[in-house]
Amino acid sequence: MSDTDAAPVTSAPPQPWLYRILTPDGRQSLRRRLLAFLLIPLMLMLMIESLITYAGALIYSNHVHDRDLADNVSTMAQMLSKENVNGEISAQARFLLDYDSEGHNYFSVSSQKHGLLAGNPQLQPPSAATGDPTLFNTTQEHRKLRAASISIPAAHDPSDKLTLTMAETLRDRHQRAREILFLSIPAQALLIAAVFALVWYGVRIGLRALDPLTKRLAAREHDLAPISDVDVPVEILPLTRTIDGLFARLRGMLALQERFIADAAHQLRTPLAGLRVHVERAQADPSPATVNDALEHIQRLTNRASRTSTQLLALTRAQSPEHETGVHALIDLGRFIPELLSLRVHEALAAGVDLGYDGPSAPVWIDGDRTTLQELLDNLIDNSLRYAGRDSIVTVAITIEDDRQVCLSIEDNGPGVPAEFLARLGERFFRVPGCHEEGTGLGLAIVQRIAERHRARVHYLSSNEGGLRVEILFPPAQTGKG
């Protein structure tokens, strides 16, 4: 077989990577699925919490370093305020300002009269207030700096003013924030692990609520009763109700099967017994007259058995739940019925019956299934041809009622049915007492069931000619005519 001839492989829907890790064997697990979808949010929460913690730690670190930077600027300003600065600062002050653990000197001392006295000429504050230091951000050599600046009066010249600016990089600030984050991560991870363990335990305990239902189902053998009960959790009620619906359909199918077997055994018992009797009679007396008579009876009984089995199968199909979901299409009865009648004309002529049609020329629309409607009409015609008798008239008609219902009727002028038995027509295996024509009693039962599938109503009436009139009222068509 070539690759193109191989059957397509249906792949399972993609699962989260964490779920695939938790299910290495590929088997579905409700517990693992719940844990996978709970653990992912918990991990996301840990990441978000870490970001929040780092941001808070950075804010705290900035606050501490800003306070230290402001204190350093104030301390150096007090030292300079006591020195006699005349164009330069003292060696001790320069040493303190030059010291930096990273080897970078970010400071400047300038005089209002003499200009820059020491430090970096590019490190100039936007403005410096006398009193409290002013903090601001700046950049030097592509480095982001945090600076503090303060102005003080010169000791040797009250008319002069000194401005001191000191700056530092942000490395220590971020380092302190990372240290705080690394200290908090183990505690947060431990908390997440504890929550996950509690979730794991909770899921295990929660899924034990399914144990009573599992035990009840395991204890069953052939019981198809509903499984929904008070001990079924609300979350799986849709599942149990779906299973109950499946059980109900299975019960219907099994009941239909049992009824079919019982009906077949009941209806075929008589023709089979007759066949055995006539076979034995022919075997006992092999004379041509006896054999021919036995063969005629065998043929008649065989036809009866064949018709009975066909009718039983037709009734079973009409009662099958599969037909409930059949797709109905728009059908023009004004065209469909005459087409079906034309197929039965030769049979009617052979039976000596005048088969006619009376209906409007305009389309008459209903929602229906063509196959079952043909079976419905065939059974109605079979019933009329069989019981109306020779030289009778059978008329199939279509009319539209005042409420837009479509009436399909078949009427004959035969012997009819006594009024007290009209209500029982349509029952399975019911035959009017005193009727000597062969039949199974299933034809009108099939008509009744097919009509119900089309949401139609069946009425059995006495015709004006003394025979039987069967009316089937179809609801107005709901399907658009396109």
The residue length of the chain stands at 482
* 479 confidence band (pLDDT: 50, 70, 90): low
Question: Is 1 inside any structural domain?
Answer: no
Closest CA to 150 of 46, 48, 72: 72
First and final C-alpha spacing in the chain: 45
Q: Please give the pLDDT value at position 308.
A: 63
Tell whether pTM > 0.75.
Answer: no
66-70, 99-103, 460-464, 470-474: which range is least confident on average? 99-103
* CATH number of the structural domain spanning residue 429: 3.30.565.10
**Does any domain span residue 146?**
yes
pLDDT at site 59: 92
Mean pLDDT confidence for 209-225: 76
Residue 417: the pLDDT is 85
Judged by DSSP in three states, 356 sits in strand
Residue that wins the pLDDT comparison between 196 and 84: 196
Is the domain of 448 the same as that of 363? yes
Band of residue 6 on the pLDDT scale cut at 50, 70, 90: very low
- Cβ-proximal residues to 263 (8 Å cutoff; 6+ apart), any chain: 312, 428, 429
**What is the C-alpha to C-alpha distance for residues 231 and 77, in angstroms, rounded to an integer?**
81
Other C-beta atoms closer than 10 Å to the C-beta of 331 total 22
Neighbouring residues of 473: CB distance < 8 A, sequence distance ≥ 6? 401, 405, 406, 407, 456, 457, 459
Looking at the fold, whether 346 and 464 belong to one and the same domain comes out as: yes
3-class secondary structure, 138: strand
Same domain, 290 and 339: no
Confidence band for 105, pLDDT divided at 50, 70 and 90: low
Same domain? 196 vs 243: no
State residue 231's pLDDT score.
67
Residues 86, 194, single domain; the answer is yes
Three-class SS state of 137: strand
Which of 270, 295, 318 is the endpoint of a domain? 318
Query: What does pLDDT average to over the chain?
Result: 77
The number of beta carbons lying within 10 Å of the beta carbon of residue 319 is: 22
- Judgement on whether residues 355 and 247 belong to the same structural domain of the protein: no
Tell me whether residue 4 is in a domain.
no
Does 329 score more than 80 pLDDT? Answer: yes
pLDDT at 471: 92
For residue 152, what pLDDT band results from cuts at 50, 70 and 90? confident
Say what the pLDDT of residue 264 is. Answer: 58
Contact call for residues 78 and 153 (beta carbons, < 8 A): no
Note whether residue 2 is domain-resident: no
Distance CA 148, CA 167 (A): 6
Q: Give the three-class secondary structure for 24.
A: coil
- Dig out the tokens for 413 from the structure: 């002028």
Q: Which of 72-81, 302-311, 331-340, 449-458 has the least mean pLDDT?
A: 302-311
Alpha helices in 220-369 (DSSP H): 237-284, 288-319, 333-342, 345-350
Give the per-residue pLDDT at 55: 92
The CA distance from 229 to 95, in Å, is: 88
State how far the alpha carbon of 171 is from the alpha carbons of 63, 110, 135, 174, in Å: 14, 27, 17, 5
Q: What is the mean pLDDT of residues 130-151?
A: 85
Segment among 111-125, 219-233, 303-317, 466-480 with least mean pLDDT: 303-317
Domain harbouring 240, CATH code: 1.10.287.130
Structural domains in the chain (count): 3
Which of 16-25, 54-63, 379-388, 451-460 is predicted least confidently?
Answer: 16-25
pLDDT at res. 288: 82
- Taking the C-alpha atoms of residue 342 and residue 340, their distance in angstroms, rounded to an integer, is 5
Q: Give the residue from 290, 318, 346 where a domain finishes.
A: 318
User: Which of 354, 340, 424, 362 shows the shortest CA–CA distance to 388?
Assistant: 354
Q: How far apart are CA 136 and CA 206, in angstroms?
A: 58
Query: Beta strand 468-474 with 457-462: parallel, antiparallel or unpaired?
Result: antiparallel
Per the listing, tokens 């030059």 go with 98
Kindly state whether residue 64 falls inside one of the protein's structural domains: yes
Q: Are 406 and 478 in contact (CB under 8 A)?
A: no
Query: Which of 318, 351, 372 is the endpoint of a domain?
Result: 318
Q: Judge whether 227 and 239 are in contact, CB under 8 Å.
A: no
C-alpha dist (Å) from residue 459 to 78, 80, 375, 394, 446:
116, 119, 18, 17, 14
* Banded pLDDT at 115 (limits 50, 70, 90): confident
Same-domain status, 305 and 404: no
Rounded CA separation 468/269 (Å): 30
Distance CA 385, CA 437 (A): 11
- Is 163 domain-assigned? yes
User: What pLDDT is recorded for position 86?
Assistant: 63
Task: Specify if 225 maps to a domain.
Answer: no
C-alpha 33/C-alpha 16 separation (Å) is 9
Same-domain check for residues 244 and 345 = no
Q: What letter would DSSP give residue 232? A: S
Residues 284 and 344 placed together within one structural domain of the fold: no
- Assess whether pLDDT exceeds 80 at residue 53: yes
Q: Is residue 482 included in any domain, yes or no?
A: no
Domain range for 279: 234-318
Confidence of residue 409 (pLDDT cuts 50, 70, 90): very high
The per-residue pLDDT for range 235-284, each reduced to its tens digit, is: 777 777 887 888 777 777 666 566 656 555 555 665 676 777 778 777 88
**pLDDT tens track for 283-311:** 887 888 887 887 877 777 676 666 666 66
Rg over CA atoms, the chain:
50
Note whether 269 and 310 are same-domain residues.
yes
Residues 80 and 214 both lie in one domain: yes
172 and 305 assigned to the same domain: no
